[in-house]
Structure 1
């Protein structure tokens, strides 16, 4: 059984519900994962302890992290425990979201979960867990991953963070979708029941690690989705990762996210990125 422990982010499952969303956990949740007997704890003392926890978390975020409790904190399921999955899982966890990271390998997912202080599970479990799902697998494994989660993500927002590239001999990469295809639309065909968005693809994880700053973001990240409300959700997650969102519109307009393009894997401000996208689109029309 899991032992409860204190930390600035209150990672104990029962108490984590309280400060992250500014509400009390359900009565049935309060002893989940703890080595104690419910009948041995006085209700009044328990409520007082939860209030102290909430106050501590509030003042920690207010004076140290600069982030107050927000009603939009989300459950995010991450499919893939590589560099991209771990990086954004950590950044979103630090922003207050509840994360489950997944892999087919139990050893890989448990190692990743410990590294970013998140929950772990299979891809199917992460897809069920997440209000939003981040797909961050190697493109060679995309078909296997999408087949595994297709039923669980029906009706959900799935953010495609993959690039349609595979390694070939000599260490080079090769594009594996047709030249006239748009990666976001290809993914939407693979997950027809989901609301597919495209983001977190144009910057190497090392650049994000170096430049991410929630307090003073300067580096741009592109995003695209068919539904304006979904684009706003993704934009919020871009901000929560310490980047500046640049909305490129619907998936049919998302070609600048696909490699090769003048904004792919280049550290740019929002203005610089928008200028490059405009020039790229003009060239495509010409």
Structure 2
């Protein structure tokens, strides 16, 4: 079923996912506070553009794709009624604005905390599902890894929302691994650190995770 997708953010992740959703036949609006980026995006991707609030009201399903340190502010400022009952794909990671230390990203969350859980607490009427946070944007849609289908780890408190995200991941070329409730989000977010360690160490960013069973 074709949907209206509201994407909050205008960076590489937002653009990569927007292209994927458009390719799948969905109607997309990208919301951002950066008007220059929105002009550039609209010239290259057939999407609507607007504010964060407009995109959140537009979408049947939302994608949060802003910098991690801006996520709480952006998400908490949305109209609760506009996002109530909607699935929100949380692609963010709690990365600080400081440089990595010896090739290791620094998170602003504490142990046993997660940005996804904080976002869920901020807007309890929405259904946060963690996804797309453990791979680079060039591989988010139809990834190719020598014929192998990579794993995307997700979590969230609402089973219907996770099913909705699983259907999207199937269409985007991923094997979904459901890790349970939002309590698992911290572990999934930490995969970003591991993914980037390999990138910084070898200066190669063309990898993804695969759960072998």
TM range (shorter): 0.7 to 0.9
Partner of 1:192: 124
- The structure in which a higher percent of residues are helix is 1
Q: Aligned residues, how many? A: 199
Structure 2: runs of 5 or more not aligned:
197-206
Counterpart check, 1:118 vs 2:47:
yes
1:113–1:236 distance in 2 versus 1, CA, 3 Å:
farther
Counterpart check, 1:268 vs 2:209:
yes
- Quote the Cα distance in structure 2 between the aligned partners of 1:167 and 1:131: 32
Quick one: which of 55, 71, 74 aligns to 2:3? 74
1:217–1:226 distance in 2 versus 1, CA, 3 Å:
farther
Shift of 1:259: 1.6
After TM superposition, the score normalised by the length of structure 2 is 0.83
Q: Conserved in 2, the CA contact under 8 Å of 1:224 and 1:249?
A: yes
1:262–1:84 distance in 2 versus 1, CA, 3 Å:
closer
Shift of 1:131: 0.5
- Quote the Cα distance in structure 1 between the aligned partners of 2:155 and 2:194: 14
Partner of 1:148: 77
- In angstroms, what is the RMSD of aligned CA positions? 2.5
The Cα offsets for residues 53-112 of structure 1, whole Å up to 9 and x where unpaired, read as xxxxxxxxxxxxxxxxxxx11111000010001001101110111111111122211211
Quick one: which of 182, 189, 204 aligns to 1:258? 189
Partner of 1:281: none
Shift of 1:130: 0.3
Q: Whose RCO is larger (CA < 8 A, sep 6+)?
A: 2
The Cα offsets for residues 240-278 of structure 1, whole Å up to 9 and x where unpaired, read as 222222211211233331125797465133x33xx6xxx
- Quote the Cα distance in structure 2 between the aligned partners of 1:263 and 1:168: 17
Structure 1: runs of 5 or more not aligned:
1-71, 276-286
After TM superposition, the score normalised by the length of structure 1 is 0.63
Counterpart check, 1:229 vs 2:165:
no
The Cα offsets for residues 149-182 of structure 1, whole Å up to 9 and x where unpaired, read as 1422122211111001122147863211111213
Question: SS of 2:124's equivalent?
Answer: coil
**After the TM superposition, which parts of structure 1 deviate over 6 Å for at least 4 consecutive aligned residues?**
none
1:206–1:181 distance in 2 versus 1, CA, 3 Å:
same
- Quote the Cα distance in structure 1 between the aligned partners of 2:169 and 2:153: 9
Partner of 1:103: 32
- Quote the Cα distance in structure 2 between the aligned partners of 1:203 and 1:88: 12
Alignment of 1:116-195 (within 5 A): 116-151=45-80, 152-169=82-99, 173-195=105-127
